[in-house]
Amino acid sequence: MEESELLKSEGFQVYKTVGRGSFGQVFLVQHADIGVVAAKVIQNENFEENEWNVSKILINDTPQTCPFIVRNILAKQFDKFTVILMDFANYGTLLDLINANIDFPLHIIRVMMKQILQGLSYIHSKGIVHRDIKGGNILLHSPLGSGRIILKLADFSEVKFLKQSLKQTQMTQRGTQAFMAPEIIQSQVGDTKVDMWSVGILFNLIITHTYPFDPTNENDIRKFLGNKTYIRPSSIKDDNLWDLLKKMLSFDPINRISAVEALNHPFFTSIQALIEITPEQINFAQSAQISKSNGDLSITQFDINPSFAFPLSSIMNNNYSN
């Protein structure tokens, strides 16, 4: 109540609460000068300055450079709270989609993974390690009338910045343990590869509807990490997908695949991957190309590439509701 009253006093119309956690609350709001955005309201003692520092690093890039991250727009500190205004994503989180237990076809798994990896390769190129990749921190957005879904990396409160002179840095056990890379748990040293481990666990969960361990049992997680054995789930039929997941879930970070390397993996680049692009995805890309030719500056290089097209129908046909 106090948080929403603060927003109203600053001229915002508050529509609803769209997120809540130990950090604070997120509201869907509108302001005459800004439009519709999400407002994250955090108690000052819980505010992580790194969350805003990410914005300073990305400030010179337009949103079209990489649409697969949630961008912070403005931050302001008050007596008790800090308010961060950010992009609003209108279709919930990837966790909502996971909880719907949808068996996605391979071409949808591919595009979901490709969007997330593109977002990661972008922030990694800036020396940013997310450190808390999980379903709840990936938002789904469908631009009005587009018929497409864009996956966006969100919540940069746990980020670590890598210095150019250092390939690895000390990392405390922050984030969610079920998605935490072995090097963080065992030695508290890591780099961008910790995010790749998290993506591997995430897609194992999306595809199989389970983890390769009991996520509620710390001893079972440590046993899995200690055994250093990732057994192929029976539901993973595609050999290229299995090979990519194995490389994401390499227990040795030196051998673990990077985001850029993953995007060039045969799971995305093979003839079979190209054949499996659907007519619907091609139609989205062609429509985007026409819009771009007509002067629509919001169209990105990813909009005109059918391999990045995630049809909204693929989740709505499964009775998904956020």
pLDDT of residue 271: 97
Contacts of 311 by beta carbon, 8 Å cutoff, 6+ apart: 147, 148, 149, 278, 280, 281, 284
How many angstroms separate the first and last alpha carbons of the chain?
A: 23
Which residue is catalytic, options 33, 103, 132, 252? 132
Task: Judge whether 238 counts as a catalytic residue.
Answer: no
Residue 40 annotated as part of some ligand binding site:
yes
- Top CATH class of 94-274 equals mainly alpha
pLDDT of residue 166: 47
Residues of the chain with CATH 1.10.510.10: 94-274
Per-residue pLDDT of the chain (322 residues; tens, 9 = 90+): 788 889 998 889 999 998 887 678 999 999 988 889 999 999 988 887 777 788 888 888 888 899 999 998 888 888 899 999 999 999 999 999 999 999 999 999 999 999 999 999 999 999 999 999 999 999 999 998 899 999 999 989 888 888 754 455 555 556 688 999 998 887 777 889 999 999 999 999 999 999 999 999 989 998 999 899 999 999 999 999 999 999 999 999 999 999 999 999 999 999 999 999 999 999 999 999 999 999 999 899 999 999 999 999 998 877 666 6
Please check whether residue 121 is in contact with residue 259, taking contact to mean a CB–CB distance below 8 angstroms. Answer: yes
Residues of the chain with CATH 3.30.200.20: 2-86
| CATH number 3.30.200.20 given to 2-86 | yes
Helices 239-248, 193-208: inter-axial angle, 10-degree rounding: 140
C-alpha distances in angstroms, 153 versus 6, 39, 53, 131, 312?
27, 16, 16, 11, 18
pLDDT of residue 22: 65
pLDDT of residue 320: 65
d(CA 132, CA 262): 19
